[in-house]
């Protein structure tokens, strides 16, 4: 009899769980998603760049919908907005330049066509001798070293992108290969140059940072937490044009292309200190404090003890603003899609008659495009401690499917946009139980999940901030498409069926983890 009672209780619990899931899923649909997206990714929102009025309006839009849905605010502050203390640093283009001086100190060339790859911690200006250091590369296995026989300490050094092996094999022909270029930095920094001038090697795909799009990628504002400025490099690292490099090399009787050909032909460096000229490099910064907020909504758990643990859903709502022509980067997929999907998931949870045992925390994070600032701030200032946070479910671009134009590369990365009815997940596989729940939830929602492992091909996302705090995470992403960070990322290209299915899958994952008595097992901690 006792066994029979246990079976009956167990069956009732399973039925209750299944009914609650259906209850929540009924409130997830495309009509709401379309309505949200039409506003959130419109031209009127001017690209939702962090620190702008439109970004503040975006936060208020999310807040007003949480109030409408009766999702609770942060209990400590009584507000949905979590203020992030930020300082914006921008390049003062009018006062940043490269000047070439002759032996008499007279300016023979001046240009503002310099792009700061990593803005310095403050306005910097240096004047010094110029050294051409080939690729700025050394290989201890082969004995090749662009630094052999030259001293770059306190000097302005010119280096080409890539290295001789990459050029020979045709590898790394992209906007900027972090893998290839980061290998050079330790060796460069240890030699103490006053400034580093990058230039695309002539056999690369691009002539300069304007042609490659690098100027748009790194030329805007940078942001940091107030009181934590000054973490940048203590020197200038700039991209210059081929024309500037040729003018700097002119006293040697060779242009950049000829220098590269000499390296290839001789199989050894042609590094040299350029005689008869000096250069002045100046990077001017403007700083200002800015207002920015995360948006937080809470659905309290129903168990008096387990409600002190939580599942976090996250998505960044900022994007990259306007281009030089005043056209909006609407960021419909990146990441209006994830942000608005979170609103629909929140509605599903609010309409459950019986709430899950654990608390559900929704975090719309700001400043992802500025270096994941919002998620970093939240994980340092969580509403429920990180050790009580079971998992982060992050949605970053869940609204696009492969279209005819999605061929070729995006800034050197192969376009890997998913087909209709499928989505990518990035995860460190910290929990086999989590993966089982995800796969079952995906099947129930009618969407295929491609497990891509831990490494995102082109950058990272806000789940990384949670992983850094030892919280397991899933990051859902539909892949790289041809409109990423371009003005064509608009609502009319959104696959709303994919958004709906992604919302249903993520709701089911969170609901299951939040509703079970035992805490999710982490059997492969990172």
pLDDT tens across 163-177, in order?
A: 999 999 999 998 888
Q: Give per-residue pLDDT as tens, 77-102.
A: 999 999 999 998 888 888 999 999 99
Interatomic CA distance for residues 270 and 266, integer angstroms:
9
Q: What is the CATH number of domain 89-287?
A: 3.50.30.30
Task: Confirm or reject CATH 3.40.190.10 for domain 20-84+292-515, answering yes or no.
Answer: no
Mean of all residue pLDDT scores within the chain: 92
Q: What is the DSSP string of 314-369?
A: EEE--B--B-TTS-B---IIIIIIHHHHHHHHHHHHHT-SS--SSEEEEEEE--GG
Q: Give per-residue pLDDT as tens, 412-450.
A: 678 889 999 999 999 999 999 999 999 999 999 999 999
Neighbours of 131 (CB within 10 A): 24
pLDDT at 192: 95
Interatomic CA distance for residues 200 and 176, integer angstroms:
9
pLDDT at 215: 86
Displacement of CA 418 from its chain's centroid (Å): 19
Q: Are 337 and 499 in contact (CB under 8 A)?
A: yes
pLDDT at 217: 74
Nearest of 361, 394, 487, 365 to residue 84 by alpha carbon: 365
Q: State yes or no: pLDDT of 397 exceeds 60.
A: yes
User: Mean per-residue pLDDT for 350-367?
Assistant: 97
Residue 470 neighbours by CB under 8 Å, 6+ apart = 386, 525, 526
User: Mean per-residue pLDDT for 456-462?
Assistant: 84
Interatomic CA distance for residues 171 and 390, integer angstroms:
41
Nearest of 332, 318, 473 to residue 401 by alpha carbon: 332
User: Mean per-residue pLDDT for 184-189?
Assistant: 89
What percent of the chain is predicted at pLDDT more than 90? 79
**From residue 100, how far is each of 144, 245, 279 by CA, in Å?**
30, 10, 5
User: Mean per-residue pLDDT for 269-277?
Assistant: 96
What percent of the chain is predicted at pLDDT more than 70? 94
pTM above 0.85, yes or no: no
pLDDT at 230: 55
Q: Give per-residue pLDDT as tens, 63-79.
A: 999 999 999 999 989 99
Q: Is the peptide bond before 335 cis (omega within 30 degrees of 0)?
A: yes
Q: Residue 219 — pLDDT band, cuts 50, 70, 90?
A: low
User: Mean per-residue pLDDT for 513-526?
Assistant: 95
User: Mean per-residue pLDDT for 459-475?
Assistant: 96
Q: Give per-residue pLDDT as tens, 302-343.
A: 999 999 999 999 999 999 999 888 999 999 999 999 999 999
pLDDT at 91: 87
Of residues 125 and 235, more confidently modeled: 125
Domain residue ranges in the chain: 20-84+292-515, 89-287
């Amino acid at each position: 009899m006792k066994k029979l009672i246990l079976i009956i209780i167990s069956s009732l619990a399973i039925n209750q769980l299944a009914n609650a899931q259906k209850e929540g899923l009924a409130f997830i649909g495309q009509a709401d998603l379309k309505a949200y997206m039409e506003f959130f990714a419109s031209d009127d929102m001017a690209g939702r760049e962090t620190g702008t009025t439109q970004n503040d309006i975006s936060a208020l839009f999310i807040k007003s919908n949480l109030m409408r849905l009766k999702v609770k605010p942060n209990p400590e502050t009584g507000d949905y907005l979590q203020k992030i203390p930020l300082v914006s640093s921008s390049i003062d283009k009018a006062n940043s330049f490269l000047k070439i001086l002759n032996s008499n100190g007279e300016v023979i060339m001046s240009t503002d066509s310099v792009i700061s790859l990593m803005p310095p911690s403050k306005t910097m200006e240096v004047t010094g001798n110029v050294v051409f250091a080939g690729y700025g590369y050394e290989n201890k296995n082969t004995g090749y070293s662009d630094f052999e026989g030259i001293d770059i300490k306190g000097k302005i050094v010119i280096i080409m992108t890539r290295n001789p092996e990459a050029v020979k094999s045709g590898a790394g022909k992209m906007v900027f290969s972090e893998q290839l270029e980061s290998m050079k930095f330790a060796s460069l920094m240890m030699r103490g140059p006053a400034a580093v001038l990058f230039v695309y090697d002539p056999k690369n795909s691009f002539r300069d940072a304007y042609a490659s799009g690098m100027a748009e990628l790194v030329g805007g504002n940078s942001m940091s937490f107030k009181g934590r400025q000054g973490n940048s490099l203590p020197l200038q690292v700039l991209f210059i044009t081929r024309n500037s490099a040729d003018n700097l090399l002119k006293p040697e009787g060779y242009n950049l292309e000829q220098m590269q050909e000499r390296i290839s032909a001789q199989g050894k460096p042609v590094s040299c200190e350029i005689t008869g000229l000096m250069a002045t490099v100046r990077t001017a910064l403007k700083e200002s404090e800015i207002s920015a907020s995360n948006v937080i909504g809470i659905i309290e758990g129903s168990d008096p003890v387990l409600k002190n643990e939580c599942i976090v859903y996250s998505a960044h709502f900022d994007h990259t603003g306007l281009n030089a022509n005043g056209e909006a980067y609407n960021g419909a997929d990146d990441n209006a899609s994830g942000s608005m999907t979170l609103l629909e998931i929140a509605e599903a949870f609010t309409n459950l008659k019986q709430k899950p045992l654990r608390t559900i925390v929704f975090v719309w994070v700001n400043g992802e495009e500025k270096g994941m600032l919002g998620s970093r701030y939240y994980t340092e200032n969580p509403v429920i401690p990180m050790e009580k946070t079971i998992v982060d479910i992050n949605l970053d671009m869940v609204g696009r499917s492969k279209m005819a134009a999605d061929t070729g590369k995006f800034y050197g990365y192969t376009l890997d946009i998913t087909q209709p009815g499928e989505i990518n997940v990035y995860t460190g596989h910290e929990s086999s139980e989590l993966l089982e729940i995800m796969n079952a939830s995906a099947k129930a929602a009618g969407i295929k999940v491609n497990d891509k492992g831990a490494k995102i091909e082109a950058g990272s996302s806000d789940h990384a901030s949670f992983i850094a705090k030892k919280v397991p995470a899933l990051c859902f992403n539909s892949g790289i498409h041809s409109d990423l960070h371009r003005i064509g990322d608009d609502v009319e290209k959104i696959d709303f069926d994919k958004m709906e299915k992604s919302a249903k899958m993520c709701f089911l994952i969170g609901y299951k983890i939040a509703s079970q008595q035992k805490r999710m097992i982490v059997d492969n901690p990172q």
